Amino acid sequence: MVERCILCDKPRIAASEFCNFHTEIDQAIKHSYKVWFEAYDRKLSENDFLGRILTLSETGEEVKRVANYLLAKGGESSNVDDASDL
């Protein structure tokens, strides 16, 4: 049986809970968080970041779906000391 993406009915890719499309979005969110984390002097939690991108009018609907899922799942921590693993 093929395992399905947590957000849609497409087949999920190996080592991910998402399909290829949502995995790419997840990776883009993680990359963007690293950039924002550094810009905020390493004082931005993942949950705060996700909340902020959800309020931006430029954020697309599928990015919002992934961000909402990540928020519901729980962010990494309230103040990340090392974002290198994200």
The residue written with tokens 């810009």 in the block is 39
**What's this model's pTM, rounded to 2 decimal places?**
0.82
Distance of CA 64 to the CA centre of its chain: 9
Q: Decide if 55 contacts 47 (C-beta within 8 A).
A: no
The string of pLDDT tens digits covering residues 7-48 is: 999 999 998 999 999 999 999 999 999 999 999 999 999 999
Per-residue pLDDT band for 81 (boundaries 50, 70, 90) equals: very low
Rounded to whole angstroms, the Cα distance separating 20 from 64 reads: 16
Write down the pLDDT at residue 74. 84
- Mean pLDDT throughout 58-67? 97
The residue written with tokens 């909340």 in the block is 51
Q: Is the pLDDT of residue 82 over 70?
A: no
How many Cβ atoms sit within 10 Å of the Cβ of residue 29? Answer: 19
Domain limits, the chain: 20-73
Q: Work out whether the CA dihedral 19, 9, 70, 74 comes out positive or negative.
A: negative
The pLDDT mean for the chain works out to 88
Task: Classify residue 58 as exposed, middle or buried by CB count within 10 Å of its CB (0-12, 13-18, 19+).
Answer: exposed
